[in-house]
Amino acid sequence: MKPPPPPCFWSSSSLSFLLLVLPLIFIFLFSLSLGPQRSLFHLVPSSSTWTSITSHFPPPSALTLSGPACSPSLTPAQSNYSDTSLSPGSSISSLANIEDRHTESAVVANGSAGSTAKRSSKLERLEASLASARSSIAAAAALVRNLTSVQDDPDYVPTGPIYRNPNAFHRSYLEMEKLFKIYVYEEGEPPMFHNGPCKSIYSTEGMFINEMEKGNVYRTMDPKEALAYFLPFSVVMMVQYLYEPGSHEINAIGRAVIDYLNIVSQKHPFWNRSRGADHFMLSCHDWGPRTSSYVPSLSKNSIRVLCNANTSEGFNPSKDASFPEIHLRTGKLIGLTGGLSPSRRTVLAFFAGRLHGHIRSLLLSHWKDRNDPDVQVYEQVPSGMSYDSMLKKSRFCLCPSGYEVASPRVVEAIYAECVPVLISDGYIPPFSDVLNWRAFSVQVASEDIPRIKEILSGISQRQYLRMQRRVRQVQRHFVLNSPTRRFDVFHMTIHSIWLRRLNVRIQVNPSKEDVPGKNTQDRTYLPFDFRDRTAMKQKIVISVPVNSKKPFFGCFSCFCDDEGGSKAFQIAAGFSGVETAGYVANNKNKIEVAGDGVDAVELTSLLQKKVGYAALESVTEVKAGGDDGGKKGGNDGDKKGGDAAALLPPPPPPFWQYGCRCPYHPYAFCTCY
């Protein structure tokens, strides 16, 4: 007997199951044929998602901070602001349209679909947050009415004509408070690092460094969370400890900065990642710009917060920030702020100061000893007259530049509620990207010094009262507080740094290895600004003291080129009968270095960096052409030595003799940067 057939519903269920499964299998196979194979359960963001997150710059490629990385690409973030550049008269609304700050053509990050689909790195998330902030600021800048009311922010400040764009400033300030984190490098020891003066004409330098060291606001202890990196050296303290009075040479100071950045770049990947563009230094000393010039990338790429904000000396308002100079004789503001009411101010214009620089020379030669009750100009305040009281009873306070453009008299005038009269050439006042200085100050060119009384007398009483009221309003942005308060000088300085960080976008090339000190495109640490990079075969003969007791660090040096390769140079002889790096000394007072295809200036500077102030005295001879020590090379060298020697800069003073006073010393080995 045959078994009964299976129930009919089994066959229908199987058919239904097949009809459902087969289309799914077909769709799956078809999708695999269209692109790279991925797990069905691996969810990734689409390119449109990236576009919406970073609407102001192209979709970033997959980046990592701890693995493969880094050859940076810095591009200005694009936004819809009305202004196109950050000139001395431009505003915060132009912060996204600053010119490109590349030092060299950078490597473009991999933009394939596969790379954009990878999980975003911490750096990508930081850059995405900056993009969102730019968009928010741009939207606020476009509004005519006030974006934020007092109910939204009880400390709401930006109102009136003293601000270029109140809405943009306030939105930018709120974004800064929410996002901005600064990492302070811990390398270095006081007194020249992590320390600064608080009772002098340079007090703001010390106040800022000390506030950053406290870490109450903005500071992060995790460098990977930071948007900016602070180099906490004090030029004022370096001058105090490294400068030889009367020598007019600051090479020892420059050497200390070079060595410090050598250490920072070796221990951390962040300097090489951006070529220093997201790093900043701060100095209120006149030599701040000159000190930064010893490291070209620091001067050209990094954010320099300077009191000496002189465009004729390389200050770049698009990346550098002007810093107010405040003279705190006691370290406190007691008695410095406030003044008489406008109706009780009987002096039209006042100045007292020593003869420093050509502008003061013009001012004193024209207005000193004129016995004019309206314009009172003194080289020294007469006995029985108080400098502070004169500020407080004057309508206008003259603020001429000295040897350099910065002057504490600008802030002294604001403290005394006296309308400042800026007399300088090339000076960028502090916080100019936010504050409209023309609303509360008078700017007089040096050639108009004889017309000062005419210019100031031509300001109507009504206009003066408006300007004086605005001086009182803007005063809070220049006050030092302990602890700090929102919108005071410390926070305004941070905001200036924040604005410049918004202008930098960092891309990382994942094909490069993220190893500190291995960025082959960064030639930061050469101590000269080379103009002639002629490649030639050459032999450089460098003299050293015959009886020197200083150690000579013999080494196998390498010089990195743009492609990541290197050109090697061997030290062929030592001195004083000492074997150097395995080579027997055959000359007591000369070290011969032979190279093929590299500029003599670069090679000499590289040697000075590595072994310089330990032993070298001067470069005495350069022989160009020929082979390493061959007969032909010797002849060519004798013929062309003069031409090759012309490539070398004038020998600097022997800054290595100050090495014992410097907290950092050259490495006893040579590596390739």
Q: Which tokens hold the place of 81?
A: 């602001």
Minimal CA–CA distance to 601: which of 668, 655, 533, 658?
533
pLDDT exceeds 80 at position 562: no
Q: What is the tens place of the pLDDT at every residue in 45-67?
A: 332 222 222 223 233 232 222 23
State the pLDDT confidence band at 17, using cuts at 50, 70 and 90: low
331 or 341, which is more confident?
Answer: 341
* pLDDT at 206 exceeding the cut of 90: yes
So what's the pLDDT on residue 121? 83
pLDDT of residue 31: 53
Residue 438 makes CB contacts below 8 A (sequence gap 6+) with none
Beta bridge partners of 352: 378
| CATH T-level fold of 342-478 | Rossmann fold (3.40.50)
Instruction: Give domain limits for the chain.
Output: 47-178, 342-478, 537-661
pLDDT at 506: 87
Q: Which residue has the higher pLDDT, 596 or 48?
A: 596
Per-residue model confidence (pLDDT) at position 159: 81
Q: Where are the alpha helices (DSSP H) in 35-95?
A: 47-53
Across the range 653-670, mean pLDDT stands at 26
| Longest CA pairwise span in the chain (Å) | 139
Q: Are 308 and 286 in contact (CB under 8 A)?
A: yes
More confident residue, 551 or 607: 607
- H or E element at residue 473: helix 461-474
Give pLDDT, residue 221: 97
CA 612 → CA 255, 277, 411, 654, distances in Å? 10, 28, 43, 9
Q: Give the pair of three-digit tokens for residue 626.
A: 């020929």
- What per-residue confidence (pLDDT) applies to 348? 98
Task: Give me the chain's average pLDDT, please.
Answer: 69
pLDDT of residue 245: 87
Tell me: the pLDDT tens digits for 438-493?
999 999 999 999 999 999 999 999 999 999 999 999 999 999 998 999 999 999 99
Name the more confident of 102 and 169.
Answer: 169
Average pLDDT over residues 653-661: 27
570-583 burial, b if ≥16 CB within 10 A, otherwise e? bbbbbbeeeebeee
Q: Is the pLDDT of residue 434 over 70?
A: yes
| Residue 411 pLDDT exceeds 80 | yes
User: What pLDDT is recorded for position 634?
Assistant: 35
H or E segment to which residue 526 belongs: none
Q: Tokens standing for 27? A: 């769709």
**Residue 524 reports pLDDT greater than 90:** no
CB 428 within 8 A of CB 309: yes
Q: What is the mean pLDDT of residues 135-151?
A: 74
Rounded Cα–Cα distance for residues 38 and 54 (Å): 25
Q: How many whole angstroms separate alpha carbon 522 and alpha carbon 106?
A: 11
pLDDT recorded at residue 29: 61
Over range 312-329, report the average pLDDT: 92
Q: 591 - beta bridge partners?
A: 542
Q: What gap in Å lies between CA 45 and CA 38, rounded to an integer?
A: 13
Residue 517 confidence (pLDDT) above 60:
no
Residues β-bridged to residue 570: 556
Distance CA 532, CA 622 (A): 15
Query: Are the C-beta atoms of 205 and 284 separated by less than 8 Å?
Result: yes
Q: What is the pLDDT of residue 518?
A: 40
In the DSSP assignment, the letter for residue 417 is: T
94 close to 71: Cβ distance less than 8 angstroms: no
For 139-175, give the DSSP string.
Answer: HHHT-SS-SS-TTT-TT----STTBS-HHHHHHHHHH
Q: Which one of 16-25, 161-170, 620-629 scores highest in mean pLDDT? A: 161-170
Q: What is the mean pLDDT of residues 561-588?
A: 31
pLDDT digits (tens, 9 = 90+) for 237-291: 999 999 988 887 889 999 999 999 999 999 999 999 999 999 999 999 999 999 9
Q: How far apart are CA 304 and CA 294, in angstroms?
A: 13
How much is the pLDDT for 536?
29
Q: What are the Cα distances from residue 410, in Å, to 24, 135, 279, 362?
A: 76, 34, 28, 19
